[in-house]
Amino acid sequence: MMNTKDIESSISSINKFEDNFDIIVNNMFNFFYDDDEVAKQKVLNYLNEQNITLQEINNLLLNNQNNSNSIYLLGKFNDLGIGVNVSEQKAFELYQKAADLGNPFGINDLGYCYKNGIGTDIDKKKAFELYQKLAELGNSMGIYNLGDCYEEGIGTDVDKKKAFELYQKAADLGNSFGINNLGHFYEKGIGTDIDKKKAFELYQKAADLGNSLGINNLGHCYDDGIGTDIDKKKAFELYQKAAKLGNAFGINNLGNCYENGIGTDIDKKKAFELYQKAAELGNAFGISNLGYYYQYGIETDIDYQKAFELYQKAAELGNAFGVNNLGCCYENGIGTDIDNQKAFELYQKAADLGNVLAQYSI
C-alpha cells in the first residue's frame, strides 16, 4: 500500500510532464512505424533523453486513458514489456479499446493479435477484415498488412498479383515494410517480372528508412550479387546492423558470416551464439542451423535428440533445410527411430521447397 509520501511523489511525477503530454505521446507514437524491437529501443532512448523514468511514463499513460494514442501506447508497453511485465491479454484489451475509438495503430495491432493469437484466439478472417478496414482509410500499415494477407492467404485466398499491387501502394505512401516486400517481389518475380536491379534499389530505400528487414535484405544483395556487385565486407556490416536492431534474419545471417568467414574471420563460437539467439526469436533458419551444431557438436556437446527436435521445429515452420535435415534424421536414426518412408516423404517435401540436397536424396 502506498503511503502519503509515495502518492505525492507519484502525482508530482505525473504533473511534471502533463503540460508536454501531447508532445511526449506523439513522439513515442511515431516510433511504432518501425519494427517492434527497433521501436522499443527508440522509446527507451527517448525516455532516457527526456529524463522520464519508466514508472513516470506508465503513470502518465494510465492517467490519460481518455486519449486513444495513450491507450494504444499502454497496450504496446504491455505487449513489449516496457516498464511493466509482458501481458498479452492486457495488450489485446487496450488495442481493442484504442481500435473502438478509431485509432489506426490500435486497429492494426488488433489485427495482428487476431492473426497470431496474441491475448485472444487466432481468427485469420477477423484479422483480414481489420486490415481491410484500415486500408480503406488509406493507412499505409493497413495496406501493407492487407497485402501480406493476400500473399500468404490469411483470411482470404492467395492472390500474389493483388499482394504486389498493395505493396506497391504502401510503398508509394512511404511505408518501409511495403517498400521491402515490393523489393522481394521484384527479386523473386512474384506478381511481376524479375528485376534484380529494382529489388536492390527498393531494399536500399527501405534500409535508408531504418527498416531492419530492408537492411538485412540489402546485405543479402551484397552477399550474393543481386542487382549490385558482390561485396562480402559490406554484406557483413549490413547483417551486423540488422542484428543490432534485433532482426532475427540479420542475426542468423551474421552467424553464417562468422561460421564461414564472410566479410570477417571465422568464429564458430560466435556463430553458435548467434544461431541460438535467432532460434530464440523463432527464426526457422536459426533453428535449423542450431540443430546442425548440436548434431555435429560444433562449439557444443553432440546432442542428437536436441538436433532432431530443432530440425522438427524448423520443418514445422516450413524451412526447407529443416525439412531435409529431419529427413536425414529419420533415414539414419539420428535422435529418433529409422523410418525410411518418413525420410522419403520429407526429402520429397524439401525438394518441392527447392532444397537441392533433398533432390539428390529422393
- Per-residue cell: 184: 522481394
Tell me, what's the pLDDT at 36?
Answer: 82
Query: What is the C-alpha to C-alpha distance for residues 213 and 180, in angstroms, rounded to an integer?
Result: 7
Domain limits, the chain: 1-122, 278-362
Tell me, what's the pLDDT at 356?
Answer: 74
With cell 523489393, the residue in question is: 183
For residue range 2-18, list pLDDT tens digits in order. Answer: 444 444 444 454 455 66
Tell me, what's the pLDDT at 30?
Answer: 84
Query: What is the C-alpha to C-alpha distance for residues 236 and 250, in angstroms, rounded to an integer?
Result: 10
- Per-residue cell: 96: 481493442
CA distances from 343 to 39, 296, 333 (A): 43, 20, 10
Class of domain 1-122: mainly alpha
Q: Answer for the pair 25, 73: CB distance below 8 angstroms, yes or no.
A: yes
Q: Answer for the pair 250, 207: CB distance below 8 angstroms, yes or no.
A: no
Q: Answer for the pair 90, 127: CB distance below 8 angstroms, yes or no.
A: no
Tell me, what's the pLDDT at 35?
Answer: 77
Residues 6+ apart with CB under 8 A from 93: 75, 119
Query: What is the C-alpha to C-alpha distance for residues 286 and 311, in angstroms, rounded to an integer?
Result: 10
Tell me, what's the pLDDT at 89?
Answer: 97
278-362 homologous superfamily: Tetratricopeptide repeat domain (1.25.40.10)
* pLDDT tens series, the chain, 362 aa: 444 444 444 445 445 566 688 889 888 988 887 778 778 888 999 999 999 999 999 998 998 888 999 999 999 999 999 999 999 999 999 999 999 999 999 999 999 999 999 999 999 999 999 999 999 999 999 999 999 999 999 999 999 999 999 999 999 999 999 999 999 999 999 999 999 999 999 999 999 999 999 999 999 999 999 999 999 999 999 999 999 998 999 999 999 999 999 999 999 999 999 999 999 999 999 999 999 999 999 999 999 999 999 999 999 999 999 999 999 999 999 999 999 999 999 999 999 999 877 766 76
- Is residue 21 packed enough to be buried (19+ CB in 10 Å), middle (13-18) or exposed (0-12)? middle
Tell me, what's the pLDDT at 4?
Answer: 41
225: left (phi over 0), alpha (psi -120 to 50) or beta: left
- Is residue 124 packed enough to be buried (19+ CB in 10 Å), middle (13-18) or exposed (0-12)? middle
Q: Do domains 1-122 and 278-362 have the same CATH topology?
A: yes
Radius of gyration of the chain (CA): 23
Q: Answer for the pair 285, 249: CB distance below 8 angstroms, yes or no.
A: yes
